[in-house]
Amino acid sequence: MLETLYINEWENLRSISELSNSTHLTSLDIIRCPHIVSLPGLQLSNLTRLEIFKCESLESLPELSNLTSLSVSDCDSLESLPELKNLSLLKELEIRRCPGIDVSIHCVHWPPKLCSLELEGLKKPISEWGDLNFPTSLVDLTLYGEPHMRNFSQLSHLFPSSLTSLEINKFDNLESLSTGLQHLTSLQHLAIFSCPKVNDLPETLLPSLLSLRILECPKLKERCEGRGSHYWPLISHIPCIDN
């Protein structure tokens, strides 16, 4: 009758095939198990949440059609994902620091109900992804670590107009947000973290924002902080400002 299982730092673990008959399991975490190569034979019909972190030898994932949440991080050997278009119930997807995953190949057909997506450290930089044709169900997008991008006009094709929340993190050379986001007319929450060169905001979006978060962006912080700052007349109405 086990429903939740958390496996952490099991150095010698190589297989979890014993779970193949765990029909009541709904949540599974596999954390820091460096010798697991695959998850063969798992028929976990009720599993809705799967998180895998720091399993450096993991090469593939099983097809688990009832997942609603999938998180895979720091899996250096992972080169393939489940067929995402078959994950018809999946709402949350996180793929971070998996350098073998080519998002432009594996993520052409997205889960039809996908709402939240986080991407970082994949095989190609964001500027080389091309048009990923995100589903219109996507409302929450977080992107990390683009070292070359200077302004978002090069990425405007990535952002579906359905977005209500956008987080940009660790864009080391990003300077401008004034172009590339203007079509996001539904955006309500904007977060900009660790972008040291950013010095402007998408002014057309500011009137509809409910929250604006700025962290480790010294140039932008100076232009947004307090009465008398450059952007204060445009952002002072926002209910939640964190900078």
Residues 120 and 152 in one domain: no
Q: Quick one: average pLDDT of 156-175?
A: 90
Spatial separation of the C-alpha atoms in residues 11 and 40, rounded to whole Å:
19
* Banded pLDDT at 133 (limits 50, 70, 90): confident
CB 199 within 8 A of CB 173: no
CB 243 within 8 A of CB 212: yes
CB 173 within 8 A of CB 197: yes
Residues 121 and 93 in one domain: yes
- Mean pLDDT across the chain: 88
111, 130, 149: which is the final residue of a domain? 130
Residues 174 and 56 in one domain: no
Q: Would you state the structure tokens that stand for residue 118, as one six-digit string? A: 């986080």
State pLDDT tens for residues 213-225. Answer: 999 999 999 998 8
Residues 50 and 157 in one domain: no
Q: Which helix (H) or strand (E) holds 232?
A: helix 232-235
Phi, psi of 200 (to 5 degrees): -145, 170
pLDDT at residue 198, as a whole number: 92
Cα separation values, 66 from 18, 21, 47, 177, Å: 20, 16, 6, 38
Residues 79 and 178 in one domain: no
Domain membership of residue 73 as a residue range: 1-130
CB 221 within 8 A of CB 200: no
State pLDDT tens for residues 65-93. Answer: 889 999 999 999 998 888 888 889 999 99
Residues 198 and 215 in one domain: yes
Q: How many domains does the chain have?
A: 2
* Banded pLDDT at 19 (limits 50, 70, 90): low
Rg (CA), the chain: 20
100, 130, 160: which is the final residue of a domain? 130
pLDDT at residue 118, as a whole number: 95
pLDDT at residue 27, as a whole number: 92
95, 130, 165: which is the final residue of a domain? 130
Residue 41 has pLDDT above 70, yes or no: no
Spatial separation of the C-alpha atoms in residues 138 and 12, rounded to whole Å:
39
